[in-house]
Amino acid sequence: EAQVTQNPRYLITVTGKKLTVTCSQNMNHEYMSWYRQDPGLGLRQIYYSMNVEVTDKGDVPEGYKVSRKEKRNFPLILESPSPNQTSLYFCASSLKGGRTYTQYFGPGTRLTVL
């Protein structure tokens, strides 16, 4: 089954404790990205990757890191999480990044930073 998976689905942590949210897709997609969803703001892009070893900032990259060492995986790293990073995070992928390509979303990771 074609899908985007994320782990963990739920995470409660404390300020400053490094964490990684994993994202994996099995569709051989070139393009992957991370979004955060906050009430009243919709989804906002954090980082994206056009292909292996090619990443770039989205609209709200502060406090986050990413890496793309393999085509299927695109982990999101919070080196020193803060309470304002409490949010619902979605990973997405598409065949390419062009305007006509459909992006497929993972199930989401709900992160709480205390």
Q: Mind giving me the DSSP string for 31-86?
A: EEEEEEEETTTEEEEEEEEEETTEEEE-S--TT-EE--SSSSB--EEESS--GGG-
Would you tell me how many other CB atoms lie within 10 Å of the CB of residue 43? 17
Q: Does 53 bind other proteins (CB under 8 A)?
A: no
Q: Does 90 bind other proteins (CB under 8 A)?
A: yes
Would you tell me how many other CB atoms lie within 10 Å of the CB of residue 69? 9
Q: What's the min distance (Å) between Cβ of 61 and other proteins? A: 12
Q: Does 58 bind other proteins (CB under 8 A)?
A: yes
Segment interacting with other proteins, rule: CB under 8 A, options 18-26, 40-48, 62-70, 78-86: 40-48
Residues of this chain that interact with other proteins (CB under 8 A) are 4, 31, 33, 35, 40-45, 48, 50, 56, 58-59, 90, 92, 94, 96-108
